[in-house]
Amino acid sequence: MAARKSATKPNVSAEELTRYYRDMLLIRRFEEKAGQLYGMGLIGGFCHLYIGQEAVVVGLEAAAEDGDKRITSYRDHGHMLACGMDPNGVMAELTGREGGYSKGKGGSMHMFSKEKHFYGGHGIVGAQVPIGAGLAFADKYRDNGRVTFTYFGDGAANQGQVYETFNMAALWKLPVVFVIENNQYAMGTAQQRSTSTPDLHTRGEAFGIPGEVVDGMDVLAVKAAGETAVGHCRAGKGPYILEIKTYRYRGHSMSDPAKYRTREEVQKMREERDPIEHVRIMLLEGKHATEDDLKAIDKEIKAVVNASAEFAKDSPEPALEELWTDIYAEAD
């Protein structure tokens, strides 16, 4: 990846940059706290952290409008926070408590918000891709101008169902942005060991779907690419692929010792390409904020995250009767 650009870019207001800083930092601190609670035994099952990838979802949310939809994999807490879901409800779900988005019955990988148009949280690799196209099909049918962001990983990009979906999405010109979060690894397998061609953004060519590659450590680049993709979809031209090059700092899940890569590789990425540090430098160099302003934001975020952990710990476990609820959907 290219070296970090530290110069302030034009056409970004101080408010906007500050918002991206805040939103990315919330995800980072929330994930760190989730990691701690996992270590303390307060979170059961799997827990896949998003640390390092924050600019992807924050950049794309900046290109979204009210009513647009999003769906992703199990590495999903960042997407929930970025679309405005309540950190308390997310943390309580992670800890399996009644106050969680799925009343403590879903956990990390199974949370939804109808209000925020967040459709999960999917543990089966690639399964969210056809569902995302289905959401876009519904919007096209209703002719409501909405777009669906369908996120999946570099590993998932090799699945058969992805290509069946590409075909249908292109055939029916569905308003769906396929977002490939290329963090270079699928569990312990590096992309070059699993993937015949490195350029995942060209994978739609056979179906007539345009695609582009984006620097996922630069929130402004992600936002700009998101705007192009969304504009394409809203103009009725069908799907668009964004391959966003990013990196996860933590293991695949909390139980991954990460022996498949060197500490130096991770360290280099953290030091040279961190997406939050990138915006911090832009804020300071552009004189949009002082060190004190940023410290105040850090403090504010820490308070929100600590409160979410307290909320989660204080929330009871779901009652036994809850075993029998939310099994079948009820018409409303």
- How many angstroms separate the CA atoms of 80 and 75, rounded? 10
124 binds, among ligand TPP, Mg ion, none (CB under 5 to 8 A by kind): ligand TPP
Taking CB within 5 to 8 Å according to partner kind, which of Mg ion, ligand TPP, none is near residue 29? none
By CB under 6 A, name the one of 156, 220, 225, 297 that touches ligand TPP. 156
Task: From 45-53, 109-117, 147-155, 235-243, give the range in contact with Mg ion by CB under 5 A.
Answer: 147-155
- The verdict on 203 binding ligand TPP (CB under 6 A) reads no
Candidate ranges 86-94, 154-162, 167-175, 196-204; the one touching ligand TPP (CB under 6 A): 154-162
Q: Whole-number minimum distance, CB 73 to ligand TPP, in Å?
A: 6
Dig out the tokens for 246 from the structure.
Answer: 């990013």
51 binds ligand TPP, rule: CB under 6 A: no
Q: Which residues pair with 242 in a beta bridge?
A: 179, 212
* DSSP string over 47-115: ----TT-HHHHHHHHTT--TT-EEE--S--HHHHHHTT--HHHHHHHHTT-TTSTTTTSS-TT---BTT
Task: Tell the smallest beta-carbon distance from residue 315 to Mg ion (Å).
Answer: 32
* Residue 153 is a binding residue for ligand TPP (CB under 6 A): yes
Alpha helices per DSSP H over 97-245: 128-142, 160-171, 191-194, 219-234
Q: Please say which residue, 215 or 243, places its beta carbon nearer to ligand TPP.
A: 243
Please select the residue that binds ligand TPP; options are 40, 187, 303, 323, rule is CB under 6 A: 187
Q: Is 188 in the site for ligand TPP (CB under 6 A)?
A: no
Stretch that binds ligand TPP, among 19-27, 166-174, 183-191, 289-297 (CB under 6 A): 183-191
185-186/189-190 β-pairing = antiparallel
Shortest reach from residue 217's CB to ligand TPP, in Å: 15
70-72-75 Cα angle (round to 5): 135
72 binding Mg ion? (CB under 5 A)? no
**Within positions 161 to 190, which residues make up the interface with Mg ion, using CB under 5 A?**
183, 186
Q: 110 to 129, contacts with ligand TPP by CB under 6 A?
A: 123-125
Which tokens go with 254? 């909390």
Q: Which residues contact 88 (CB under 8 A, 6 or more apart)?
A: 99, 307, 308, 311, 312
**Residue 42: exposed, middle, or buried by beta-carbon count in 10 A (0-12, 13-18, 19+)?**
middle
- The DSSP code for 2 is P
Strand partners, 182: 245
Nearest-angstrom CA–CA distance, 261 and 245: 17
Stretch that binds ligand TPP, among 82-90, 98-106, 147-155, 225-233 (CB under 6 A): 147-155
Residue number with the shortest CB distance to Mg ion? Answer: 153
What are the residues binding ligand TPP (CB under 6 A)?
73, 75, 123-125, 153-156, 183, 185-187, 252
What are the residues binding Mg ion (CB under 5 A)?
153-154, 183, 186
